Amino acid sequence: MTEITTEKARIGAPSAQPFINGFTEEGESLSPINSTESKAPLAGASAKSHSHGGGVGIPDSSRAGRLTSYNLADFKPLTGMEEDWRFTPLKRLRGLHTDALTGTAPEVLVTAPLGVLVETVDRNDNRIGSAAIPEDRVSANAWENFTEATVITVPAEAQVADEISVLITGQGTEASAQHIVIEAKKFSKAVVVLDHQGTAVVSQNVEILVGDGADLTVISLQEWHDDSVHASSQQAKLGRDAKFKHIVVSLGGDLVRMTPSARFTATGAEVELLGLYFADAGQHLEQRLFVDHSVANCKSNVLYKGALQGKNAHTVWVGDVLIRKEAEGTDTYEANRNLVLTDGARADSVPNLEIETGLIEGAGHASATGRFDDEHLFYLMARGISEEVARRLVVRGFLNEIIQKIKVPALEERLTAAVERELAATNN
């Protein structure tokens, strides 16, 4: 495979911030940042100020300095110049960043095995805000506008074998807001599938709480109709020894922007963030994830794989991993792989790794964008394999790595079929 490798590392912080004590180009001696007040699980020091970002001593360019707030007014109107919006075509957000989100929210239908508690609550419920604070304007806009939330609770020690299916059906193109809370209480085990279908223009906040020793898998599947716009902030907070697997699968929709994050509150927890996306002509599929290693001895592993085909198919993957000073013993790896199938498609890939302590098990990142080119095709066809089958072989093989990790047989079959459909639909 012809590999065009784009790797950008940001270890430590830029040297252009001389006002910060103790910075060196190598990013060592960064203690002033985290020594005092960033024990908060939800965000950096800025969370406490509830306003204009960049807590004391935190450079704007560090992920720790990102503004977080429940108030829409704290976020400036978007210009498209912001680091976290620079790849997103704002015009196609259909007002998610500018309008009051008063449209009908997508309908939520939860099918859960016995023992799982499903509630619809109003916005004053005390569980709201327990795992997340909006990190961008679109997320804050949803927070400001949602009227009721779905809360799914897996009781302590419950071992739920069948997946909890959350069917989310769009109700049209009026800009809307949605809020979902998923809590797996301590020592429980469950799989939740957020299954997005139909037509929607929606900004969504999903709060995920993984209790001590709990094992939770959340799969967010975007099979929207082509006219849909979906921004989804899915923030997880992990307890001690918790295991969390998050899988993004984005196939349908005009613009889908997923911002999953995982934050550790106690030692021994593990997260696995996986993603699969397949962009066709004109689609914009964006994923920006954040793993915040703020406590010692936690693990994270990130793998996103994407295929692109058709004119102006655009995918964006930005992976921010932050290892704070106190997160000794961290073990983390993140990777993104893209396979460009035709001319005219564009894959942006930016892995960011910030390391503030050297006392870690391991930290790595990788990104590669390859092209399925005429030589691959020729090789396979010269062995009697038709062009259509050749293309399918390559893409199926490439994306299967993620599908196989889902471990929900019915869903794996469905996704394999969906990938085949993607290939058939736009096979030139």
Partner 1 sequence: MSTLEIKDLHVSIDTEQGTKEILKGVSLTIKTGETHAIMGPNGSGKSTLASTIAGHPRYNVTGGTITLDGEDVLAMSVDERARAGLFLAMQYPVEVPGVSMTNFLRTAKTAIDGEAPSLRHWTKDVKAAMAQLRIDADFTQRNVNEGFSGGEKKRVEILQLELFKPRFAILDETDSGLDVDALKVVSEGVNRAHAEGNMGTLLITHYTRILRYIKPDFVHVFVDGQVVEEGGPELADRLEEEGYDRYAKGAGAASIAAAAAAAQA
Residues 336 and 364: beta-carbon distance below 8 Å: no
The conformational region for residue 210 under phi > 0 = left, psi -120 to 50 = alpha, else beta, is beta
Residue span binding partner 1 (CB under 8 A) among the ranges 36-44, 171-179, 235-243, 384-392: 384-392
Using CB under 8 A, pick the residue from 30, 45, 395, 419 that binds partner 1. Answer: 395
What is the smallest separation between the CB atom of 362 and partner 1, expressed in angstroms?
Answer: 23
**Three-class secondary structure of residue 254 per DSSP:** coil
Q: Please report, for residues 25, 132, 220, 343, 349, the alpha-carbon distance to residue 6 in angstroms, rounded to integers and kept in the order given.
A: 21, 31, 27, 18, 7
The site for partner 1, by CB under 8 A, has a size of 26
Site string for partner 1, 351-370 (x = CB under 8 A): -------------------x
How many residues does this entry show for the chain? Answer: 428
Binding test (CB under 8 A) with partner 1, winner from 77, 382, 409, 428: 382
Give yes or no for residue 375 binding partner 1 (CB under 8 A): yes
Q: Are 224 and 196 in contact (CB under 8 A)?
A: yes
Which of residues 143 and 372 has its CB atom nearest to partner 1 in the complex? 372
Residue that has been written with the tokens 């000073």 in this structure: 325
User: Which one of 86-94, 134-142, 175-183, 392-400 is the stretch in contact with partner 1 (CB under 8 A)?
Assistant: 392-400
Nearer to partner 1, 73 or 382 (CB): 382
Stretch that binds partner 1, among 66-74, 144-152, 387-395, 403-411 (CB under 8 A): 387-395
> Which span sits near partner 1 by CB under 8 A: 154-162, 178-186, 214-222, 374-382?
374-382
36 pairs with which residues across the strands?
A: none
Residue 390 C-beta: closest distance to partner 1, Å: 8
Angstrom distance (rounded) from CA 378 to CA 399: 21
Task: Report the C-alpha gap between 320 and 371 in whole angstroms.
Answer: 25
- Rounded to 10 degrees, the C-alpha dihedral 366/263/275/107 comes to -160
DSSP letter for each residue of 280-334: -TT-EEEEEEEEEE-SSS-EEEEEEEEEE-STT-EEEEEEEEEE-TT-TT-EEEE
1 binds partner 1 (CB under 8 A): yes
Three-state DSSP class for 138?
A: helix
Beta pairing partners, 275: 248, 304
320-349 residues in contact with partner 1 (CB under 8 A) are 339
Q: Could you say which of 190, 271, 279, 394 contacts partner 1 (CB under 8 A)? A: 394
Q: Which residues, numbered 45-104, are part of the site for partner 1 (CB under 8 A)?
A: none
CB of 393 to partner 1, least distance (A): 5
Q: Does 386 bind partner 1 (CB under 8 A)?
A: yes
CB of 370 to partner 1, least distance (A): 6
- Distance of closest approach, residue 397 Cβ to partner 1, in angstroms: 3
User: Which residue number, 80 or 397, has a Cβ lying nearer to partner 1?
Assistant: 397
What would the x/- binding string for partner 1 be over residues 270 to 309, using CB under 8 A?
A: ----------------------------------------
> Can you tell me which of 79, 161, 343, 374 binds partner 1, judged by CB under 8 A?
374
| 5 touching partner 1, by CB under 8 A | no
φ/ψ of 397, rounded to 5, equals -60, -40
Q: Is the dihedral of CA 48, 51, 56, 62 positive or negative?
A: positive
3-class secondary-structure state, position 15:
coil
**Which positions lie near partner 1, rule CB under 8 A?**
1, 339, 370, 372, 374-376, 378-387, 389, 393-400
